[in-house]
Structure 1
Amino acid sequence: MTIRDANHASDRIYGTGPPMELTYKPDAADYRRWLLTDAERTVRAEEERLTSGEEDNERV
């Protein structure tokens, strides 16, 4: 007897309910989380750029 692993993509395609894309509606908390994630990613990339010595001296 084999145990079947969960296959979420298959469940969405062949499941009984509508796909998540049709039922999901982002709210203010989602937008806030996305903005914070993007800001953290930008700060981390800038921090890495400055510490690696690849500073662009030609920028004004």
Structure 2
Amino acid sequence: MFVHNTSDPTAIASFEPGDYPDLVQARELLPELAKLWDAVRHDFWTAAIPAHRRPRPPGTSA
């Protein structure tokens, strides 16, 4: 698996099949990509928890 910058075809990270890190390991290996790991975490939880089950921020209505 390769991670590329969208403005450049050069890989900024690569992981071998069978040795893919979980998100915690990826953060430890490449802390400079914190914004990317935050986006991955957000996308995962957005897909994992349906919108109608997500808690609403205080002060908002349904």
Which bin holds the TM-score, normalised by the shorter protein?
Answer: 0.3 to 0.5
TM-score w.r.t. the length of structure 1 is 0.33
Higher relative contact order (CA 8 A, sep 6+): 2
Structure index of larger Rg: 1
TM-score w.r.t. the length of structure 2 is 0.32
More strand by proportion, 1 or 2? 2
More helix by proportion, 1 or 2? 1
